[in-house]
Amino acid sequence: MVKLRIVTLLAALGALVAGCAETGGTGAVASIASDAASSPARELTGTWRGWFVQTGSDGHVDGEMTLVIKDDATYKIRSVRRGRGDVSGSNDAGVIAVNGRTVTLKSDGGSWISLVRKGDMLYGVTKAPSGHSLQYSFQRSSGVPSESP
């Protein structure tokens, strides 16, 4: 289990670096929701199940997530932190943007998460509002099957 997490973390970090190099580090995004009908975002339509885990610090935060992407390039995400029976979870929504293999979840609240796509997997590492780094991984559980890019 530890080996799998280390390998996944290294793959996610490598993909994040590759994703930044692909966009030139500018955060530029090729397609947005207005181009949804013809964009690669349509290929992501469906339900994705995944998890998140805090990386690189003393504390430990982890949980499960469900990401639903609609064919109009909007998304809803629900996360539930493990070990916190008193917390009902959190919800977010926004639009997705696709640039090559990089998929960006742009929250209506202004934050964003950059993920890398490999077939029916999405993964990445980002900073949480708390300042901690979080690793994300999703696998498609329903929707349009896709080919590896």
Query: Does any domain span residue 148?
Result: no
Does residue 26 surpass a pLDDT of 80?
A: no
Number of domains in the chain: 1
Query: Does any domain span residue 19?
Result: yes
Query: Does any domain span residue 127?
Result: yes
Exposed e or buried b for every residue in 32-70, given b needs 16+ CB within 10 A? bbeebeebbbbbbbbebebbbbbbeeeeebebebbbbbb
Residue 76 confidence (pLDDT): 96
What confidence tens digit (pLDDT) does each residue in 44-90 have? 999 999 999 988 766 678 899 999 999 999 999 999 887 655 555 78
Structure confidence at residue 129 as a pLDDT band (50, 70, 90):
confident
Query: Does any domain span residue 82?
Result: yes
* 57: CATH: 2.40.128.640
Burial of 86 (0-12, 13-18, 19+ CB in 10 A): exposed
Is there a contact between 139 and 46 (Cβ–Cβ < 8 Å)?
Answer: no
